[in-house]
Amino acid sequence: MRLDLFLKLARLVKRRSVAQEMIRIGAVRINQRESKPSSSVRLGDEVEIAYPRRVLKVKVLQDDEKELRRKAEPYELMEERRVDPEEIPW
């Protein structure tokens, strides 16, 4: 499944276009590597998302689009940390 679609269906971002922009500026990583909106997300991958005031690290539990649309548990929260809004977490 595409990374931008996963972020949208997992409800980590509200819109897919927002997810694409976050990925392009480097605020989203898969397994500690920069990625593209079209990068594949697989079971067990670790995804880090940098928001303006916090960074989430999640483990992918579901990568099937149909299951995610049925509200399956998409991820497990591994870490959440606060960051200074002036700091760039990457």
> pLDDT digits over 8-21, tens only?
999 999 999 999 99
Q: Which residue carries 């079209």 as its tokens? A: 38
Domains and CATH numbers, the chain: 3-82 (3.10.290.10)
Would residue 44 be called left, alpha or beta, if left means φ above 0 and alpha means ψ between -120 and 50 degrees?
left
Is 0.75 surpassed by the pTM of this model?
yes
| Structure tokens that stand for 41 in this block | 């997300």
Specify the amino acid at residue 41: V
Q: Which residue carries 């694409």 as its tokens? A: 20
Q: How far apart are CA 82 and CA 2, in angstroms?
A: 27
Share of the chain above pLDDT 90, in %: 87
> pLDDT digits over 43-71, tens only?
999 999 999 889 999 999 999 999 999 98
- Do residues 43 and 63 lie in contact, with contact meaning Cβ atoms separated by under 8 Å? yes
